[in-house]
């Protein structure tokens, strides 16, 4: 039996293995990816989600820009934002960083989202135009419906999006927080293109939304993106005692089961140490093994390095299977 490697040093703040301070941080080659429907493009395997970076206070903008810029330098190209993030401030900050990065950002994969408050036909085009203006771009690579609204027919929204796609303002159409049934309805409304992405809450501890659509999306060639892949930090070594995770309403289940999940997180941490990998490696590669693309959050450059270190350390399939068992609460 191969002797486990010694676990790398860990950050006291995040619990993710850290590169020594004096070490260089060269660009990371992110191997792999997923075919993006019939577009001929490849969806990146790992991305940076910009939800609530810096809480959007003006005094935090410098740190937020530094984080995005550092992610570019480290080789990340998928950036996920939305018009509702900071009431447009997220898009503006991302656009500014990409503009100032010049050639470095030429191959950036920019994703933004149409608010659930703007799903009527008359609202879709103005929303996209506003996003493009803030991003400083003539088109967006991928445009997602942020969440369905039961008061607005899905077919109405998709028809408006398809018009913008035919005009070349959208590289591809996707959705977010859609159930399997809603996804089928959205696809049926399109005539010339198809839905290529469904972004959902998905991680080792919060599986319902992802499990609901995963088999269908695999069969239909739709990429499943996972937001909150590290469960608000619980799967990266944070909140193992005391503190309560904060985050979107869809993650309140973490608070409701906090003590139970903290115990499982401690067992996952022990497994990661035994395997000689950062704890976050278990969470990220559990998703990747299922064919899911994680979009992680970071509020400072060091956290980008933490995640890339975790991504570079791939656990064995045996370790990932054990992680799956522990996270479900089964005996291991």
Is the Cβ–Cβ distance between 233 and 288 less than 8 Å?
no
Q: What number of other Cβ atoms are within 10 A of residue 267's Cβ? A: 17
Is the Cβ–Cβ distance between 170 and 128 less than 8 Å?
yes
Q: What is the DSSP string of 216-231?
A: HHHHHTPEEEEESTTG
Q: How far apart are CA 301 and CA 73, in angstroms?
A: 10
Q: What number of other Cβ atoms are within 10 A of residue 188's Cβ? A: 11
Q: Who's near 269: CB < 8 A, 6+ residues apart?
A: 15, 237, 240, 279
Measure Cα distances from 325 to 4, 47, 116, 225 in Å. 20, 26, 36, 22
The upper half-sphere exposure of residue 137, i.e. CA atoms within 13 Å in the direction of its Cβ, equals: 31
| Annotation says 85 is catalytic | yes
Q: What is the dihedral of CA 185, 188, 194, 198, to 10 degrees?
A: 10
Is the Cβ–Cβ distance between 217 and 194 less than 8 Å?
no
Q: How far apart are CA 269 and CA 279, in angstroms?
A: 6
Q: Classify 248 as helix, strand or coil.
A: coil
Is the Cβ–Cβ distance between 220 and 193 less than 8 Å?
no
Q: How far apart are CA 154 and CA 66, in angstroms?
A: 38
Catalytic pick among 85, 143, 227, 239: 85
Q: Who's near 3: CB < 8 A, 6+ residues apart?
A: none
Q: Which residues form the catalytic set? A: 85
């Amino acid at each position: 039996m191969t002797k486990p490697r010694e676990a790398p040093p860990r950050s006291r703040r995040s619990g993710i293995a850290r590169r020594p301070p004096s070490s260089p941080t060269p660009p990371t080659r992110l191997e792999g990816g997923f075919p993006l429907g019939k577009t001929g493009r490849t969806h990146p395997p790992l991305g940076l989600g910009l939800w609530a970076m810096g809480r959007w206070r003006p005094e935090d903008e410098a740190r937020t820009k530094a984080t995005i810029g550092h992610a570019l330098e480290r080789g990340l190209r998928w950036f996920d934002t939305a018009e509702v993030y900071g009431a447009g401030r997220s898009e503006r900050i991302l656009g500014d960083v990409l503009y100032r990065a010049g050639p470095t950002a030429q191959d950036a994969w920019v994703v933004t989202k149409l608010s659930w408050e703007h799903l009527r036909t008359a609202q879709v085009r103005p929303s996209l135009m506003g996003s493009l203006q803030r991003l400083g771009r003539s088109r967006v690579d991928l445009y997602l419906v942020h969440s369905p609204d039961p008061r607005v027919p899905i077919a109405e929204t998709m028809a408006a999006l398809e018009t913008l796609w035919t005009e070349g303002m959208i590289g591809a159409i996707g959705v977010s927080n859609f159930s399997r049934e809603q996804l089928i309805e959205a696809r049926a409304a399109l005539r010339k293109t198809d839905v290529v992405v469904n972004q959902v809450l998905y991680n080792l501890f919060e599986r319902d939304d992802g499990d609901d659509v995963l088999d269908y999306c695999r069969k239909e060639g739709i990429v499943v993106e996972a937001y909150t892949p590290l469960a608000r930090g619980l799967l990266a070594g944070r909140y193992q005692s005391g503190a309560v995770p904060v985050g979107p309403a869809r993650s309140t289940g973490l608070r409701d089961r906090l003590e139970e999940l903290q115990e499982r997180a401690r067992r996952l941490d022990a497994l990661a140490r035994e395997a000689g990998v950062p704890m976050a490696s278990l969470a990220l590669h559990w998703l990747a093994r299922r064919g899911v693309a994680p979009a992680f959050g970071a509020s400072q450059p060091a956290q980008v390095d933490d995640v890339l270190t975790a991504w570079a350390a791939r656990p064995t399939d045996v370790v990932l299977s054990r992680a799956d068992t522990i996270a479900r609460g089964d005996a291991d």
